[in-house]
């Protein structure tokens, strides 16, 4: 007689992390908004605790800070005794939190490359079948289909009568996969925090989520992140939580020049630029310094920007612009820019920005290897 299984109600164990977990979620949001400033994030958390009673006598803010240290999320700042800084563990946790917040749960998908509509020798099987051709590998042969063909073509024999010929063989098509090189451009001009609206924090979250997405689901892809204000420069993914807006104009030309330079070095088939901005180009770097004009659409600045859009088109690099503003004259500029590049443009709210970028990234299956 089998002993079988005995089922009973599952009662989860009490955990001392209950208070930590709820506070930690808020802390992760605050440390992103404060660009990695742990002291400011904890001050805000204290104020929220006073107003909403986030802690109790059993688990206080002091316990939370000690747990942050013990769990490896913050360290003492050697340059400023008595202050803290986030760790590499926190940086990764912030990226993962952004990914979950913006993109939701992701399903595992093979080796994680972008499929193309072309078939041939590749590394993922499709449902399409065809006859065996010289050069096909043995592991592509579908034995079930091939034996069935042999039986149909030569009859069902027994013992030594079974015959399998080359004409009976069928192979399963493999889909080509392709790598994608993406440059994500983030506008850090002063307008990204003007008019009482924080636009830089959602942009940072999108960048962190995209970086984590590429790492988890498309590990063979390349993602470079650059920021542009008066100038443009490349940043590492680990720097994203600390990203801040500066007292800058918008030098879109510098950003595009750097993006194209980075993509020229990549030996991949698919290349693209994603640009997150909330304003028009207003700045150029010249030999004598900077040329700036924030009033209207300056043709000197706009023409150089459009020239780069055309250069990207010649290099077969589509530019997708995510404009988080809806001024009519900005739309006219974006439409002209997009037409010259033959790219795409979205006029997005901050709330929908992440989903648009995610979907556009997934649909990049235009070119074959």
Q: What CATH number is associated with residue 183?
A: 3.40.50.410
On whether both 59 and 203 belong to a single domain, the answer is no
The pTM (predicted TM-score) of the whole model is 0.72
pLDDT of residue 105: 43
Do residues 72 and 191 share a domain?
no
The pLDDT score that the predictor gives to residue 192 is 87
User: Residue 99's pLDDT is what?
Assistant: 84
In a shared domain, residues 340 and 213:
yes
Residue 342 lies in a domain: yes
pLDDT at 146: 80
Phi–psi pair at 277, nearest 5 degrees: -150, 160
Are 291 and 334 members of one domain? Answer: yes
Which residue, among 115, 118, 269, has the nearest Cα to 181 in the 3D structure?
Answer: 269
- Residue 95: inside a domain: no
Does residue 281 lie in a domain region? yes
Q: Count other C-beta atoms under 10 Å from residue 103's C-beta.
A: 20
Task: Choose one of 128, 144, 177: the last residue of a domain.
Answer: 177
Same domain, 199 and 169: no
* Tokens, residue 168: 């009976």
Beta bridge partners of 224: 183
Q: Which of 158, 177, 196 is the last residue of a domain?
A: 177
Q: Record the tokens describing residue 340, joined without a space.
A: 């010259």
As beta bridge partners, residue 43 has none
Give pLDDT tens digits for 279-330: 889 999 998 899 999 888 899 999 999 999 999 999 999 999 888 877 787 8
- Say if residue 266 is in the same domain as residue 189: yes
Specify the pLDDT at position 174.
59
What is the pLDDT, as a whole number, of residue 157?
58
Of 66, 86, 106, the last residue of a domain is 86
Q: Concatenated DSSP letters for 230-281? A: SSEEEE-GGGGGG----S----HHHHHHHHHHHHHT---SEEEEEEEESS--
pLDDT tens per residue, range 324-357: 877 787 888 889 999 999 998 887 777 777 778 8
What gap in Å lies between CA 168 and CA 151, rounded to an integer?
Answer: 9
Q: What's the domain range around 135?
A: 117-177
Establish if 337 belongs to a structural domain.
Answer: yes
- Is the domain of 208 the same as that of 346? yes
- Using 70 as the pLDDT threshold, list the residues of the chain that sit under it: 1-18, 103-128, 135, 156-160, 173-178, 364-369
> What rounded mean pLDDT belongs to the chain?
82
7 lies in a domain? Answer: no
**Pair 205, 68 in one domain:** no
pLDDT value for 127: 54
Q: What is the pLDDT of residue 368?
A: 36
User: Are 189 and 306 within one domain?
Assistant: yes
Q: Does residue 354 contact residue 206 with C-beta atoms inside 8 Å?
A: yes
* Of 34, 353, 33, 344, residue with least CA distance to 209: 353
User: How many domains does the chain contain in total?
Assistant: 3
Residue 301 and residue 283 share a domain: yes
In a domain, 5, yes or no: no
For residue 307, tell me if it sits in a domain: yes
Pairing of strands 180-187, 222-228: parallel
pLDDT of residue 121: 37
Q: What are the backbone angles phi and psi of residue 199, rounded to the nearest 5°?
A: -100, -20
Residues 168 and 186 in one domain: no
Are residues 305 and 192 located together in one domain of the fold?
Answer: yes
Determine, yes or no, domain membership for 130.
Answer: yes
């Amino acid at each position: 007689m089998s002993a079988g299984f005995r089922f009973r109600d599952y009662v989860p164990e009490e955990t001392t992390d209950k208070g930590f977990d709820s506070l930690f979620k808020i802390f992760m949001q605050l440390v992103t908004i404060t660009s990695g400033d742990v002291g400011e994030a904890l001050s805000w958390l204290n104020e929220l605790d006073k107003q909403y009673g986030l802690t109790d006598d059993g688990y206080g803010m002091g316990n939370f800070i000690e747990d942050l240290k013990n769990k490896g999320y913050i360290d003492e700042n050697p340059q400023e005794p008595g202050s803290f800084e986030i760790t590499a563990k926190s940086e990764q946790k912030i990226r993962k939190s952004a990914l979950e917040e913006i993109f939701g749960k992701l399903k595992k998908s093979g080796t994680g490359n972008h499929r193309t509509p072309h078939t041939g020798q590749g590394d993922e099987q499709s449902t399409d079948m065809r006859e065996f051709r010289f050069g096909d590998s043995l592991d592509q042969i579908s034995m079930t289909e091939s034996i069935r063909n042999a039986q149909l073509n030569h009859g069902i024999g027994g013992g030594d009568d079974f015959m399998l010929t080359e004409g009976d063989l069928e192979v399963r098509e493999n889909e080509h996969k392709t790598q994608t090189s993406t440059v994500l451009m983030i506008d850090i001009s002063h307008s990204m925090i003007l008019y009482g609206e924080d636009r830089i924090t959602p942009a940072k979250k999108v960048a962190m989520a995209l970086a984590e997405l590429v790492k988890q689901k498309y590990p063979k892809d390349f993602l470079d992140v650059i920021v542009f204000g008066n100038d443009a420069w490349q940043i590492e993914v680990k720097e994203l939580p600390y990203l801040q807006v500066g007292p800058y104009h918008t030098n879109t030309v510098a950003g595009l020049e750097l993006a194209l330079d980075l993509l020229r070095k990549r030996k991949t088939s698919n290349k693209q630029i994603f640009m997150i901005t909330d304003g028009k180009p207003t700045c150029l770097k010249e030999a004598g310094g900077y040329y700036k004009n924030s009033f209207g659409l300056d043709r000197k600045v706009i023409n150089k920007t459009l020239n780069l859009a055309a250069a990207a088109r010649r290099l077969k690099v589509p530019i997708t612009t995510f404009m988080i503003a809806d001024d009519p004259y900005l739309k006219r500029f974006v439409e002209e820019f997009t037409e010259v590049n033959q790219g795409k443009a979205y006029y997005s709210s901050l709330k929908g920005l992440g989903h648009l970028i995610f979907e556009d990234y997934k649909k990049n299956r235009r070119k074959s290897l």
